[in-house]
Amino acid sequence: MDQNAKAKKFTNLHVKGAPLILYNAWDAGSAKAVVQAGAKAIATSSWAVADAQGYDDGEKLPKALVEEIMAGIVEAVPVPVTVDFEGGYSDDDHELAKNVAKLLHVGVIGINFEDRIVQGTGLYKMDRQAKRIAAIRKAAQGKGVDLFINARTDLFLGSKGDPAKYVGEAIERAKAYADAGASGFFIPGLLKETLIEQIVENVALPVNVMYMEGVPSNARLAKLGVSRVSYGAEPYSRAMEAVLKDATKVLS
């Protein structure tokens, strides 16, 4: 299957009310295991990929190493591969486009792209982030790939106070990001059913929820109209716990 066929397949897996479940991988070996378990696509977690290589999250893992790991995953599995690319490793739109083009070159068909200022504090202003998304879309079009840009907002993850006060801005950001060329809208950190449903009902893009303690079950998220559920760093954490448990047993 060629890159654009994989991109189309991946886009079509986002069905409102029948969400794509992504059990996130961190290297070629974990990706192969997840595919053997029946996964229709592979997504990575930036935190897991970085930690597995001995780095902290937050674009501390060298970009060249990200590209190398992603090339290995694409080569190892026959399914579409989407990458958690954080903030794209640049604040400059031209550099950002080049960075994404390198991922496209190794066969990636999707990215997570967040509105948090990775090397600073807070979030990008809505129109600035929309311009960043537009730069990525233009780069993908230049390469002839219908890249799935999963626009992540960090309004909820780690935020203080009532998350309901951020829902209006989230809906506004989703519209701006969609107009700029985003393919999906990712709301990690939002747990409350009524708020998730409010976003789903008011956002045209497929909505992605991240599994974490307190999030409704996958069956319930399907009923709310969610199109994608990702497991983030949870699979990596579970795997490392299993290694620790078994190593402790063997070594003691």
Residue 1 in this model has a pLDDT that exceeds 90: no
Query: Which among 66, 62, 73, 59 is positioned nearest to 27, based on CA atoms?
Result: 73
The per-residue pLDDT for 159 is 84
- How far lies 76's CA from each of 79, 115, 127, 148, 151, in Å? 9, 30, 38, 20, 26
Average the pLDDT over 127-153 and give the result.
98
Mean pLDDT rounded to a whole number for the chain: 97
**CA nearest 26: which of 220, 244, 238, 249?**
238
pLDDT tens profile 209-252: 999 999 999 999 999 999 999 999 999 999 999 999 999 999 99
Percent of the chain, pLDDT > 90?
Answer: 98
pLDDT band at 44 (very low <50, low <70, confident <90, very high): very high
Q: How remote is the C-alpha of 4 from its chain's centroid? A: 19
Residue 218 CA to residue 155 CA, distance in Å, equals 22
Report the pLDDT averaged over residues 132-154.
98
* Statement: residue 23 has pLDDT above 90: yes
pLDDT confidence band for 167 (50 / 70 / 90)? very high
pLDDT tens by residue, 90-134: 999 999 999 999 999 999 999 999 999 998 999 999 999 999 999
Q: Where are the alpha helices (DSSP H) in 77-217?
A: 93-105, 126-142, 164-180, 193-202
Q: What is the pLDDT of residue 160?
A: 82
CATH number of the 3-251 domain: 3.20.20.60
Encoded tokens for 239: 């795997």
Over 90: is that where the pLDDT of 161 sits?
A: no
Q: Residue 158 has what pLDDT?
A: 82
d(CA 143, CA 4): 11
Average pLDDT over residues 77-100: 98
